[in-house]
Amino acid sequence: MKKKLLALGLACAMGLSLLAGCGGGTGESSQPPDNSQMPASQSGGEGEAAGQVYYLNFKPEQDGQWKELAEIYTEETGIPVTVQTAASGTYETMLTSEMAKSDAPTLFQVNGPVGLNNWRDYCYDLSGSQIYGELTSDDYALKDGDSVAGIAYVIESYGIIVNETLLDEAGYTVEDIQSFEDLKAVAEDITARSAELGFAAFTSAGMDSSSDWRFKTHLANLPIYFEYLDRGITSTDAIEGTYLDNYRAMWDLYINNSTCSPAELTAKTANDSLNEFVSGQAVFYQNGSWEFANVVGEGKLSEDEVTMIPIYFGVGDEANQGLCTGSENYWCVNKNASEEDIQATLDFMYWCVTDETALQAMTGGEGAMPSGEAGMGFAIPFQQAPASANLFVQLDAEMTAEGKTPVSWNFTTMPSEEWKNMVGSALAVYAADQTDANWDSVVSAFVDNWAAEYALANG
Amino acid sequence: MQKAIKRYWPIFVLPTLAAFIIGFIIPFIQGVYLAFCQFTTVRDATFNGISNFIRALSDNTFTHAFWYNCAFVVVTTIAINVGGLVVALILTKAIRGRNIFRTVFFMPNLIGGIVLGYIWQILLNCVLSLLERPLLNLDATAGFWGLVILMCWQQIGYMMIIYVAGLQSIPDTLVEAAEIDGATRWQTFWRVKLPMLMPSITICLFLTITNSFKLFDQNMALTGGQPAHQSELLAYNIYYTFYGRSGPQWRGIGQAKAVIFCAIVVVIALVQLRLTRRREVQQ
Same domain, A338 and A365: yes
Q: Which residues of B touch A115 (CB under 8 A)?
A: 246
Question: pLDDT digit string (tens) for B25-72?
Answer: 999 999 899 888 888 777 778 888 888 888 888 888 899 999 999 999
> What is the predicted pLDDT for the residue at B84?
93
Q: Which of A354, A383, A412 is the last residue of a domain?
A: A383
Measure CB to CB from residue B246 to each of A8, A416, A429 and give the nearest one.
A416
List C-alpha distances in Å: A399 to A106, A229, A396, A432, B209: 37, 20, 5, 36, 61
Measure CB to CB from residue A425 to each of B8, B10, B227 and give the nearest one.
B227
Q: How many domains does chain A have?
A: 2
Q: Is residue A427 part of a domain?
A: yes
Chain B residues whose C-beta sits inside 8 Å of any chain A C-beta: 7-8, 10-11, 13-15, 18-19, 22, 26-27, 30, 33, 40-46, 121-122, 125, 129, 134-138, 224, 226-228, 243-248, 251
Q: Is residue A311 part of a domain?
A: yes
CB contact under 8 A, A100 and B43: yes
Q: Which of A356, A383, A410 is the last residue of a domain?
A: A383
Query: pLDDT band at residue A330, thresholds of 50, 70 and 90?
Result: very high
Same domain, A187 and A111: no
* Secondary structure in 3-state letters for A385-400: CCCCCCHHHHHHHHHH
The answer to whether A42 touches A353, Cβ cutoff 8 Å, is: no
Q: Is residue A118 part of a domain?
A: yes
Same domain, A212 and A314: yes
This complex has an ipTM of: 0.76
Q: Give the CATH number of the domain where residue A199 resides.
A: 3.40.190.10
Same domain, A378 and A243: no
Same domain, A63 and A196: no
> What is the predicted pLDDT for the residue at A5?
60
Q: Which residues of A touch B28 (CB under 8 A)?
A: none
Same domain, A300 and A332: no
> What is the predicted pLDDT for the residue at A20?
46
CB contact under 8 A, B138 and A422: no
The answer to whether A170 touches A163, Cβ cutoff 8 Å, is: no
Question: pLDDT digit string (tens) for A406-448?
Answer: 888 888 888 888 888 889 989 988 988 889 999 999 999 999 9
Burial label, A31 (beta-carbon count in 10 A; 0-12, 13-18, 19+): exposed
Query: pLDDT band at residue A21, thresholds of 50, 70 and 90?
Result: very low
Same domain, A410 and A321: yes
CB contact under 8 A, A96 and B41: yes
CB contact under 8 A, A433 and B137: no
Q: Which residues of B touch A428 (CB under 8 A)?
A: 137-138, 226-227
Residue type, B160: M
* Parent domain of A423: 157-325+395-458
> What is the predicted pLDDT for the residue at B76?
94
Most confident of A30-34, A172-176, B135-139: A172-176
Q: Which residues of A touch B27 (CB under 8 A)?
A: 26
CB contact under 8 A, B227 and A428: yes
CB contact under 8 A, B137 and A119: no
Q: Is residue A37 part of a domain?
A: no
Same domain, A280 and A371: no
The answer on pLDDT for B106 being more than 50 is yes
List C-alpha distances in Å: B149 to A5, B128, B152, B210: 56, 14, 5, 17
Residues 6 or more apart whose Cβ sits within 8 Å of residue B103: none
When pLDDT is averaged across residues B120-144 and rounded to a whole number, the result is 84
Same domain, A176 and A276: yes
Q: Is residue A40 part of a domain?
A: no
Burial label, B148 (beta-carbon count in 10 A; 0-12, 13-18, 19+): middle
CB contact under 8 A, A425 and B134: no
- Domain borders along chain B are 60-278
Same domain, A133 and A198: no
Query: pLDDT band at residue A34, thresholds of 50, 70 and 90?
Result: very low
Question: pLDDT digit string (tens) for B192-203?
Answer: 888 888 889 988
Nearest-Å Rg of the Cα atoms of chain B is 23
Q: Between A and B, how many residue pairs show a Cβ–Cβ distance under 8 A? A: 118
Q: Which residues of A touch B227 (CB under 8 A)?
A: 425, 428-429
Same domain, A60 and A117: yes
Q: A153-173 b/e with 16+ CB inside 10 Å = b? A: bbbbbbbbbbbbebbeebebe
CB contact under 8 A, A207 and B137: yes
Mutate one of B43, B52, B127 to test the A interface: name it (highest A CB count within 10 A).
B43
**CATH superfamily of the domain spanning B60-278:** MetI-like (1.10.3720.10)
Q: Which residues of A touch B13 (CB under 8 A)?
A: 11
More confident residue, A32 or B94: B94
When pLDDT is averaged across residues B131-146 and rounded to a whole number, the result is 82
Same domain, A255 and A376: no
CB contact under 8 A, B227 and A92: no
Q: Is residue A38 part of a domain?
A: no
